[in-house]
Each structure stands twice: as C-alpha cells, then as structure tokens.
Amino acid sequence: MNNQQNPKAIIVIFGATGDLAKRKLFPSIYRLYQNGKIDDDFAVIGLARRPWTNEILRDNVEQSIKETNASKSDVDKFTSHFYYQSFDVTEASSYQGLNDLMQELEGMYNTNGNRIFYLAMAPEFFGTIAVNLKDYCLEMSSGWSRLVIEKPFGHDLPSARALNSQIREAFDEDQIYRIDHYLGKEMVQNIEVIRFANGIFEHLWNNRFISNIQITSSESLGVEERARYYDHSGATRDMVQNHMLQMVALLAMEPPIKLTTDEIRSEKIKVLRALRPIDDSEVDENFVRGQYGSGHLHGKDVQSYRGETDELKDSHTETYVAGKVMIDNYRWAGVPFYIRTGKRMAEKSTNIVVEFKDIPMNLYSEDDGNKNPNLLVINIQPNEGITLFLNAKKAGHGSAAQPIQLSYNNNGVHGINTPEAYEKLLYDCMLGDATNFTHWDEVAFSWAYIDAILNAWSRRTPDFPNYTSGSMGPKEADDLLAKDGFHWWPIRDVVQ
C-alpha cells in the first residue's frame, strides 16, 4: 500500500459527542475507509465532557453510518478503531491521559506518529486547546501533526488576530488547516478547472466581456436548533466572511504559475487584497441586510426569525445579506460581483451566474427589444453541473433568437459518486494538501473587508423583519442590481 496515498494517522476529535462529528466526520472517515483511501493503521480518539465509554462512542459511530447498508462485520471492524476519553479542555490531567492513550494506540496501529487534532467544538476553546497541546508536547511526535479548525475563526479581525497568535504559539502556519467546507464541494473546486482548462472561457474572463457575476447561496430552512449560535453570528459572519468571499476569490483570481498550494493561495490573497474598501457612508448603497418574517413555504406556514424562540424576540441579527463587491485590479475594474445569501428563502440552492456582455449590435434580439445575454451557470448544489446559455433561431418564420441550454449534470453521470466535502477535505489534510483550506492572510483580508460593513450596521437600527419567508429576500436587494441595469437571475431559470 502507498502510504502517501493511503495515509495512516491517529485522528483526535475534540467534541466527538456533537452534531458535526455525528453528521459529517464519522461518515466521512467511514467512506475513506470503505474506499481504501486510508490505511488500516488508523485510530480515532473521541473527546468530550460526557462520561461515555468506547462502546457508547462506537454505537454512535455505527448509528451515524447506518445508511451505508454495510455488513455488520464491516461496521464492527471499522468502529473497533474508535476510542473515547472523557475530557475537560481546561484540565491538565485530561491532556496527560490523552498523551498516554495516543502513545498506546500508536504502538497498536503503527501510525508512524502522524496526528490530526480536529477541533469540532465551540471556538472559544480553540486557543486553550492549542496551547495545552503544546504544553503537554502532544503536537510533538515522530511523524507529522496537524490542527484542523472549524469556523468561525474569530468574531472580527481583532479577535481573529488574537486567536491566530495563540494558535501560532503551538503550531506553524503550515500545520494549521482552517476548514471551509464550501472549498471541498466538487463544483467549487471545478471553478478553477472550468476557467483554466478552457480557452473559450479564460480568454473572455475579464471586464471586456463580462458584465457582472452573481453568487447565490440560499437556504429554505430557518435557524432551527442553532438559534443561540446564529444570533451571535448572523448571515454576514456565518456565510459572507468565509464561503461567499472564497467563491469570489476563486472566480476572480489570476491563473497561478503552478497548481501548488502556495501559488493558488497567493492568487486568491491578491483578489482579497484588491477588494474595494467600503466606507461607512457607502455601506447602505452597496449592501442590504434582511431578517425573515413569517410566511408560507413548501405548503406550510412558517414563523418569523423573532418567533423561533423567546430569546430572539427583539433580535436585530440579519438572516440575509446581499452585496455589490468591486475588485480594483486590471482584470475586473468596473465589474460588479453580486452576492446574496439567506435563510427561509424560496429554495435551497448555491449557484454562480456569469453574465457576458451583449454584442454591440444584436440583430436577433426579441421583437420587444428584450435581450437574452449569454450566461455561464455553475450549479454547486443541489444539481451539480454547468449550463451555458446561448441564443439560436426560433423555429418557424422570422429572425428572432431564443435561448438554448448546453448542460452537463454531474449527478447524472453513471458511476460518479461525488465525495462529501468533509470527506475530500479530511483526505487532503491527511495527505498534507492545504490548497482547499484557508490561509491566515485570506482570513485577515476577509475580516478587514467585512468589519467595515458590520461596524456601520452596528450604529443603525434595522427595520426588521423585511422579507417574507418563502421569498428571495428584501426588495432592496433587487434595487441593488436594478440601479446598475441588471437583475438577479431567478433560481428556477438557471437551475435545471
């Protein structure tokens, strides 16, 4: 077995009794195991405050992978690699116990001292854990050690800097893997391929030929059980600072010299550095925030954000953001990147629409003067694929054109089993490939941009709720594009 492509390691999950571990991490590790992506020499240590045992953890792992319909013997063999330790992140004896268990398991499984520490818990403990791992020499081993951190990485730029300084006391930047699960999605990773492997697009990928780019990430769900976290975060911190700006960076970056982690990250950082800063007086002209009210969705009446729980009844937290992002560099000067994301919207969908400029004199426009611009649509979820909208002659008499679609649907390709984002990212981490994880500089530039918007909003009381559940957001978001002569492309029109 090739140990580079079938890596071996001990994976330590802080917060192993939580929702993330059960829904994402355990199934992802199982798929890697099932597909032969990781060596049989691996172990998973689950840590949390609950007084669980190895057996309780293994039962929970088994429950989390029951939909795979694996045989009982296969499941038992897999879960036998899981071990549990009751753990207090602030208690010295916990780290000593962890050290003893890791050394024991490294002898049992011959993992060459390779260690992943996955922090799947509240971010206020990230720094404490990192420092303690160093103090008790847990990050020191005969192999490699890597620290995986879930978002949010800080609450603003100053808190992100403080957290980064704390973590960097224990781990080098190349050991820190800041996970953004959007970067693990198959079609997000395809953005680079679509651009850099196709001359038909890359030669046109600039302000001479593109009029605007729209990025939509809409959810039909409300905050559900995440009310406490979400009210502290809001849509801007939860989605825009990380996922949305990462997609902007991938769409706008220059071609890297080589397809290496450092070169790709370098080009993304250049984009984030080139984001046009938003002055306080310009925030309301360029960004719209919203909060959902009650409405009707999927045949049911749903309540407002403030009606979800008593603690939200006077909340000014935004559940929707739309914005106009400008990039001040040679390639993109003058081209708006419109972003929108929100909860309780009409449909669950993430897509990118690249709208190309019309030709100077379109002889085949509709009789009523309407034009159908060429669009490149990248569907990230739920229907993964690419659609190119072209114009062709209508059947029958006359010379008017109508839009036609050339589509590639990833879901419909026989034999394709698109890896879950966490599965892909965990595997990348084990291989030491940090390309699809965020560098500190990306985090810092994103926060610097977002902080200006949040600071302006903090000084103004919003008129919430301002959009109906089941809609596509506030009217002001439509006006944001209309004043530039554009409109949002309806999801139903571009997602097939």
Cite the active site residues: 243
Q: What tokens appear for 461 in the block?
A: 């009381």
Helix axes 54-64 and 72-79, enclosed angle (nearest 10): 130
What is the C-alpha to C-alpha distance for residues 33 and 27, in angstroms, rounded to an integer? 10
Q: DSSP letter string over 84-139? A: EEE--TT-HHHHHHHHHHHHHHHHHH--TT-EEEEE-S-GGGHHHHHHHHHHTTTT
- The torsion of the CA quartet 123, 127, 133, 137, rounded to 10 degrees, works out to 160
Contact 156, 451 (CB under 8 A): yes
Q: Look at the alpha carbons of 235, 238, 243, 249 in this order and tell me if their dihedral is positive or negative.
A: positive
Order of strands, sheet of 82-86, starting from the edge strand that comes earlier in the sequence: 82-86, 42-48, 9-14, 115-119, 145-149, 176-178
CB 355 within 8 A of CB 366: no
- Of 206, 184, 185, the closest CA to residue 195 belongs to 206
Helix (H) / strand (E) containing 362 = none
Q: Is 411 exposed, middle or buried (0-12, 13-18, 19+ CB in 10 A)?
A: exposed
The residue whose two tokens read 């902080």 is 451
